[in-house]
Amino acid sequence: MSLDAHWFSEADKGLALSLRIRKKLHEEQTPFQKIEIYETDSFGNLMVIDGCVMLTGRDNFIYHEMMSHPVLYAHADPGNVLIIGGGDCGTLREVLRHPEVRQATQVDIDERVTRLSEAYFPELCESNHDPRARLLFDDGIKFVQEAKPGSIDVIIVDSTDPVGPAAGLFSTDFYRDCIKALGAGGLLVQQSESPLLHTESIIRPMHDSLRAAGFHDPVALHFPQCTYPSGWWTATMAGKDGPVTFRREKAAEQKPFETRYYNAAIQRAAGASPEFFRKALLG
Ligand code: SAM
């Protein structure tokens, strides 16, 4: 079937993903990036930043649940959580489902992402007025540099791809600042692209940078994300004081909230590495 003006396409490494669209709902160039919003035929609304799919109404639950619940159940007491990026607020909503979280600060460089999410993805923003939520609009790199040492339990880096304003979020200097900002037993999780397309170009250098900064044994969680390039995505977790373990497995088995993708068995399985991936990360 040939594609025409009724399709949005994102091409990466010789592979294109297309979503059939009904209409363009919004387009703007902010000081940081170009944001587009579409209504699709079968995936709900679609947000695109600089030509890359950020999320669709239909499948974002997988990404947002995997960016939040595994790392929170791996930490002994995730009271203070920092989200870098995440301006659509979907990760924030999932983080605030955990009663142990006493404060969740979201720092996105671009306020327009949040305002457009409020308009076109209101379901993702339903916890923005939770008294534990703090929404700031600033550069996450600067925020972590200036954070009080030892003050944060979990850092979630829910950013765009490592180009433009997000490039520094994949650097050793940034990870060193994260180590400093994290308290004892602190954990970091970061969206880390596709194992099929980006193991050599992004995931392996990211693991090297995490280790160089002092993080222990980075581990990739694998999950399907059919609207991201290749349909297969990862979130990489790493610990400040030792390897990441499933510390609160029992609590995860009895989680006091509904999820659509995440459960304790998914967390156990998601850390298993396919052979090519395991070997590539051995060096
Ligand atoms: N789920 C998405 C994905 O993997 O494609 C990421 C979604 S979220 C919309 C990404 C956010 O990262 C954007 O809103 C962007 O403004 C933000 N961002 C990029 N660089 C940043 C930085 N240096 N500090 C804070 N936020 C940043």
Please give the share of the chain, as a percent, with pLDDT higher than 70. Answer: 98
Choosing from 159, 193, 221, 236 the residue with most ligand 1 atoms within 8 A of its CB, the one to mutate for a pocket test is 159
Give the model confidence (pLDDT) of 143-201 as tens digits: 999 999 999 999 999 999 888 889 999 999 999 999 999 999 999 999 999 999 999 99
Give the model confidence (pLDDT) of 31-68 as tens digits: 999 999 999 999 999 999 999 999 999 999 999 999 99
Instruction: Please report the domains of the chain, with CATH numbers, ordered by start residue.
Output: 2-56 (2.30.140.10), 60-282 (3.40.50.150)
- Provide the pLDDT for residue 5: 72
Phi and psi angles of residue 253, each rounded to the nearest 5 degrees, phi first: -70, -25
Coil/strand/helix, residue 10: strand
| Whole-number Å distance between alpha carbons of 56 and 39 | 9
Give the model confidence (pLDDT) of 223-247 as tens digits: 999 999 999 999 999 999 999 999 9
Q: Which residues have a Cβ under 8 Å from the Cβ of 4 and sit 6 or more positions away? A: none
The answer to whether residues 162 and 133 touch, using CB atoms and an 8 Å cutoff, is no
Pocket (CB within 6 angstroms of ligand 1): 32, 54-55, 63, 84-88, 107-110, 113, 139-141, 158-160, 165-166, 169, 191
Residue 1: pLDDT above 50? no
Choosing from 12, 32, 65, 109 the residue with most ligand 1 atoms within 8 A of its CB, the one to mutate for a pocket test is 109
Q: Which residue in 88, 110, 158, 177 is the catalytic one?
A: 158
Active site residue 158: yes
